[in-house]
């Protein structure tokens, strides 16, 4: 395996681009190949078997590009299929759960940590189990937020939008009342709502964004395995999706926080 090979990143859709944004900051000289399963999104309300099947197809597509590492930039996949991917893939793998839980454990002062994610992520208790392993005294408060993904996908992200504020209040009131000082955004769509979430939770609650923590962890793994790309060239990612790429530039630009002018390719993921 050569250090000049790309890092493969995938998500159920375009939410994982919020992680790609962080990878581009933390590892600017790495080539990224991104696959968003836009034809089958969302995964968050599907069965464990289906999520696992999809996850292995997504990783299989990236492996065809000889990636040196696979990253599941998806809270749902990381929670449900993470262990299987880690043990079965022929290259280093990371999801978002472990690096994010680790960061939250170091951030909390009062030991009260909130976790929000899709229904599949919350039902798996992946973050809670990981956090309890790090410190059994932590108090973990979990909340599924199934309306957040459709809000984000439909562009409802503004902090002053009444619908956004209402949904956030409905989901997060209990966590706020419990006094969590750290809140894990356990789904890669949620960073787009972070300003509105922060407005509601107040400045004493730290939000932990899985994309950044995962990029830092991936850099550590690559360094340890001598797989960091030593070229100085800044690379642009390649993008693949499984449904029509119409409007990709606009939506992807939102997640990446910058205008993009890259081409996007549509593939048939059922082949993998
Ligand atoms: N991006 C996915 C995650 O992080 C959420 C979207 C979905 O339900 O597929 O969980």
State how far the Cα of 242 lies from the Cα of 240, in Å rounded to an integer. Answer: 7
Catalytic residues: 74, 187
Q: Are the C-beta atoms of 208 and 234 separated by less than 8 Å?
A: no
Predicted TM-score (pTM) of this structure: 0.94
**15 touches ligand 1 (CB under 6 Å):** yes
- Tens digit of each residue's pLDDT, the chain (272 residues): 899 999 999 999 999 999 999 999 999 999 999 999 999 999 988 999 999 999 999 999 999 999 999 999 999 999 999 999 999 999 999 999 999 999 999 999 999 999 999 999 999 999 999 999 999 999 999 999 999 998 987 889 999 999 999 999 999 999 999 999 999 999 999 999 999 999 999 999 999 999 999 999 999 999 999 999 988 888 889 999 999 888 788 788 888 888 777 679 999 999 98
CA angle 189, 61, 74 (to 5 degrees): 20
Query: Closest by alpha carbon to 209, among 103, 81, 109?
Result: 103
Query: Closest by alpha carbon to 123, among 46, 176, 64, 192?
Result: 46
Bridge pairing between strands 206-209 and 238-241: unpaired
Element of type H or E holding 227: none
Instruction: Give the Å distance between the CA of 47 and the centre of ligand 1.
Output: 13
State how far the Cα of 180 lies from the Cα of 97, in Å rounded to an integer. Answer: 19
């Amino acid at each position: 395996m050569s250090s000049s090979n790309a890092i493969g990143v995938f998500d159920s859709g375009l939410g994982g681009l919020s992680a790609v944004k962080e990878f581009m900051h933390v590892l600017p000289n790495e080539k990224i190949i991104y696959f968003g399963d836009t034809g089958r999104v969302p995964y968050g309300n599907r069965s464990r078997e289906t999520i696992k099947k999809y996850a292995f197809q997504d990783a299989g597509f990236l492996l065809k590009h000889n990636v040196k590492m696979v990253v599941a930039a998806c809270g749902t996949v990381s929670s449900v299929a993470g262990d299987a991917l880690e043990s079965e893939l022929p290259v280093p793998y990371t999801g978002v759960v472990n690096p994010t839980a680790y960061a939250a454990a170091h951030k909390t002062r009062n030991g009260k940590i909130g976790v929000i994610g899709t229904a599949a992520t919350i039902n798996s208790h992946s973050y809670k189990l990981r956090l309890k392993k790090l410190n059994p005294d932590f108090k973990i408060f979990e909340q599924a937020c199934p309306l957040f993904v459709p809000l984000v996908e439909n562009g409802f992200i503004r902090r002053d939008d009444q619908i956004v504020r209402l949904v956030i209040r409905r989901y997060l009131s209990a966590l706020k009342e419990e006094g969590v000082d750290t809140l894990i955004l356990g789904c890669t769509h949620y960073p787009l709502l972070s300003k509105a979430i922060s407005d509601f939770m107040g400045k004493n609650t730290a939000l932990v964004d899985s994309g950044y923590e995962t990029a830092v962890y991936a850099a550590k793994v690559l360094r340890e395995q001598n797989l960091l790309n030593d070229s100085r060239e800044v690379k642009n990612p390649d993008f693949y999706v499984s449904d029509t790429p119409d409007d990709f530039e606009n939506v992807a630009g939102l997640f990446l926080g910058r205008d993009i002018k890259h081409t996007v390719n549509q593939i048939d993921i059922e082949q993998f």
